[in-house]
Structures are given as C-alpha cells and as structure tokens.
C-alpha cells in the first residue's frame, strides 16, 4: 500500500489540478516525472516544493553537455590516488577512499527516501536519457574499481526537467509521467504575485 501523501503544492509554490495530478501519479506509480517547459516556468522550483511537501531532502543534479549517466553514480579520483602514491607517502591500497558517490549514487544510499532533481536533461547527448533510466530501473550498480555493489535503500522520487532544446528518445518518454508546465495565465500569475509580493 502506498502511503505517500497527495501533493497539493506548498504555501509558496502554487499549483493547478493538472500539475498536482501528474506529481501524484508519479508518486503513486514510482515513475520519474518529466516536466517540460520554457525557462522560468518553475520546473526546478517544483522539485524543491515536492521535497518540502514530503519533508525530505532534495538532491540536485545539474546536467551539462558532457554529462554521462555513469557520472551520476560515482567518480573515481585516480589523479589524487596517483598523487598520494608518489608525493604523500600514503597507503593507497584502499581504493574506496578515492570513490565519491554522484547524485544518483547519493540518492540510492540515502537512509530516507529523497527527491532527485535531474535538471535540464536535454542538454546531454542523445544516449543519456536511456542510460539514465537503465540505472533507475536496476536501482543498483557496481563500483568497478572496488567490486562493491550499491543497492538503493529507497527508490528516490525522480523529477526530470527539460527546456525542449532537443527531442528526447521515445523509449525514455514512454517510461516517464509527463507534464508540460506552461507560463501562468494572468489570473494565476496574479495569485503567484499575491503570495510572493503581497504589498505590490
């Protein structure tokens, strides 16, 4: 039984029924929520609002053109290990001290379910979205350098944003709950202004 409370926005993040329905559907089905829309429509702020509504932590993964899905899992700092072995007279046999979890790995390792924001997924190359969902489907990964397996303690709430800079693969789209976030209509915009700037 899913005991996740229904999302109805927060005191300072106003929503409409369509957005609430999309968020709650993603929560109930434990699927990623893909939010598309022009810059400035509140996509990133939505993830923060969901995290606050669920009383949990937000992990923000900002995507760049060079981002690969595996970098979200962990990073092995081979340069520091080499430096320590040559110049610091340090025991470097324990490779785990040079492993740093990425945002996805951090979300998997969290003691409590977190909200993972994967921001501007359309900035990455075309293979990134499908590679990302592969990792989310498995909910586990192996750190090659140590052989350690990281298994998700809780499935994170995943919110993915896109600015429509490029088309996303159909298999990726089919596995997400989708919502297009439009610029607010004048009446709704006035409600937002009343919340954030009541003295205007």
State residue 1's pLDDT score: 45
Could you tell me if 118 and 160 are in contact, meaning their C-beta atoms sit under 8 angstroms apart? yes
Domain ranges in the chain? 17-66+111-142+151-196
Average pLDDT estimate for 95-112: 95
State residue 39's pLDDT score: 85
CA distances from 163 to 38, 169, 184 (A): 5, 15, 16
The model's pLDDT over 166-190, given as tens digits with 9 standing for 90+, comes to 889 999 999 999 999 886 655 545 4
User: What is the C-alpha separation between 75 and 94, in angstroms, rounded?
Assistant: 15
Task: Please give the model's pTM, rounded to 2 decimal places.
Answer: 0.86
Q: Which of 12-21, 63-72, 117-126 is the least confident region?
A: 12-21
CA distances from 145 to 72, 100, 151 (A): 16, 12, 16
The band of 199, judged by pLDDT with boundaries at 50, 70 and 90, is low
How many Cα atoms are found within 13 Å in the side-chain-facing hemisphere of 3?
A: 1
Give the whole-number percent of the chain exceeding pLDDT 70.
89
pLDDT at 193 over 60: no
User: What is the C-alpha separation between 71 and 132, in angstroms, rounded?
Assistant: 10
User: What is the C-alpha separation between 101 and 43, in angstroms, rounded?
Assistant: 25
Query: 17-66+111-142+151-196 — its CATH code?
Result: 3.40.50.300
State residue 75's pLDDT score: 94
Average pLDDT estimate for 104-132: 94
């Amino acid at each position: 039984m899913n005991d996740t409370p229904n999302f109805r926005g927060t005191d300072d993040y106003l929503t409409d029924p369509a957005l609430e329905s999309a968020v709650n559907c993603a929560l109930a089905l434990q699927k990623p929520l893909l939010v598309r829309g022009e810059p400035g429509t509140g996509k990133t702020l939505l993830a923060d609002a969901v995290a606050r509504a669920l009383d949990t932590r937000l992990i923000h993964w900002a995507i760049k053109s060079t981002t690969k899905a595996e970098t979200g899992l962990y990073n092995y700092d081979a340069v520091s290990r080499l430096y320590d072995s040559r110049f610091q007279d340090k025991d470097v046999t324990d490779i785990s001290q040079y492993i740093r979890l990425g945002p996805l790995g951090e979300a998997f390792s969290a003691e409590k379910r977190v909200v993972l924001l994967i921001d501007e997924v359309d900035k990455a190359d075309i293979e990134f979205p499908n590679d990302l969902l592969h990792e989310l489907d498995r909910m586990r990964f192996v750190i090659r350098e140590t052989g350690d397996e990281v298994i998700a303690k809780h499935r994170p709430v995943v919110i993915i944003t896109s600015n429509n800079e490029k088309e996303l693969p159909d298999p990726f789209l089919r596995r997400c709950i989708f919502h297009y976030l439009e610029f607010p209509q004048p009446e709704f915009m006035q409600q937002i202004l009343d919340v954030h700037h009541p003295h205007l």
